[in-house]
Amino acid sequence: MTGPPPVTGAWRAGDPSGRRQWFTGPGALALEAGGSLPGYTLAYETWGTLDSAAANAVLVEHALTGDSHAAGPALPGHPSPGWWDGLIGPGKALDTDQLFVVVPNVLGGCQGSTGPSSPGPDGRAWGSRFPAVTVRDQVDAEAALADALGIERWAAVAGGSMGGMRALEWAVSLPERVASVLVLASTARASAEQIAWTAPQLEAIRSDPAWHGGDYYAAAEGPHRGLGVARRIAHVTYRSEPELAQRFGGRPQEGEDPLRGGRFAVESYLDHHADKLVRRFDAGSYVVLTESMNTHDIGRGRGGVAAALGRVTARAVVAGVDSDRLYPLYQSAEIAAGAGGVAEVVSSPYGHDSFLIETGQIAALVKSLLG
């Protein structure tokens, strides 16, 4: 069997430069689960220019392992091109000749924002001491960023998957600050199946001997194997069975024989995606952010999902993907109906990842949202 070279060493943040800017919160952040985060920083990037009325700002929210680099080429600190590069820029759906686009790295992440790998008050990495943060906490931190940027109301908030959770939370918790919202391949609350899919991922990370209870940042090795297993499990849920059947079938990986310990082509594909992730993402952040997705429920403490959706005043466009087995279409339909929004369907063989792949269809939804 062959595969990518092993990743060694504990997690270390990469080059912090690139296009990132930095926002430090004005004080402690009160947390939904109780207690507070004594201080925090959000990394973010912007494109375009804020107009004199601060009325042309659009907030774009990334998914679980995304970051602030939504557009542009690979740069120092940004090893990959922007994940929505086809949508953000001059003349594109999010036209930066007209709009001011803001993309923050989520609280709890590892690409410049405060998370488990960040120094705590004593100078050591937070590690296992990092508090539980919810989607609501993440939105509260982003609201402070908006205040600092002078943005009282977003012309639009858009996001897919975990980013869709935050976009919806903005529209529910701060309706007066959101003119329109685009929720892609997401849900109003995590389902039993979605939580169930994450359970073996979290167990894989925590069972890795290099996890050290979450306090591995000063160790010689990090829980790369566990994170790689988690990514393999997750990536299967991000694509569709018909796509995997068409692309790989039961073919062996070139030059390998499964009867003699070699891999199938689909196994090599999963190995590739696992290797990419463990080289750029922190296992501690993966755990923290996965748990924030598991606890996502816009109806908590608000009388239930229907009552919470009734708080939305923004023009809402909600789209699901017809081949998405992780966030099925009925969840998008529930949001659209409850928020009085427009329900759309992205038709694609690529499953959940279609919100990152189907640029033409997503661009049409953005244009519809912005009128």
Query: Among residues 62, 224, 235, 352, which one is catalytic?
Result: 352
* Mean pLDDT, residues 116-125: 96
Average pLDDT, the chain: 96
* Mean pLDDT, residues 85-91: 97
Q: Alpha-carbon dihedral of residues 243, 86, 140, 182, nearest 10 degrees?
A: -70
Amino acid, single-letter form, for residue 25: G
Residues 6+ apart with CB under 8 A from 240: 323, 324, 325, 349, 350, 351
Query: Among residues 117, 118, 161, 285, which one is catalytic?
Result: 161
| Cα–Cα distance measured from residue 51 to residue 149, given in angstroms and rounded to the nearest whole number | 12
**pLDDT tens, position by position, 128-182:** 999 999 999 999 999 999 999 999 999 999 999 999 999 999 999 999 999 999 9
Integer angstrom CA distances of residue 78 from 7, 187, 365: 19, 29, 27
* Mean pLDDT, residues 106-113: 96
Question: Residue 90 class from Cβ within 10 Å (0-12 exposed, 13-18 middle, 19+ buried)?
Answer: exposed
**pLDDT tens, position by position, 190-209:** 999 999 999 999 999 999 99
Residues 6+ apart with CB under 8 A from 77: 14, 15, 16, 17, 18, 19, 20
**pLDDT tens, position by position, 215-271:** 999 999 999 999 999 999 999 999 999 999 999 999 999 999 999 999 999 999 999
Q: How confident is the model at residue 4 (pLDDT cuts 50, 70, 90)?
A: low
| Cα–Cα distance measured from residue 167 to residue 182, given in angstroms and rounded to the nearest whole number | 7
Instruction: Identify whether 235 is a catalytic site residue.
Output: no
| Cα–Cα distance measured from residue 133 to residue 31, given in angstroms and rounded to the nearest whole number | 7
Q: How confident is the model at residue 1 (pLDDT cuts 50, 70, 90)?
A: very low
Query: Among residues 95, 324, 348, 353, which one is catalytic?
Result: 324
Residue 5 reports pLDDT greater than 70: no
Q: What structural domains and CATH numbers belong to the chain?
A: 21-189+297-370 (3.40.50.1820), 194-292 (1.10.1740.110)
**pLDDT tens, position by position, 324-339:** 999 999 999 999 999 9
Instruction: Identify whether 128 is a catalytic site residue.
Output: no
- Cβ atoms of 168 and 309 within 8 Å: the answer is no
Q: What is the value of pTM for the model shown? A: 0.96
H/E run at residue 158: strand 156-160
Q: How confident is the model at residue 186 (pLDDT cuts 50, 70, 90)?
A: very high
Percent above pLDDT 90 for the chain: 93
Determine phi and psi for 338, rounding to 5 degrees.
-70, -30
| Cα–Cα distance measured from residue 179 to residue 291, given in angstroms and rounded to the nearest whole number | 29
pLDDT of residue 11: 61
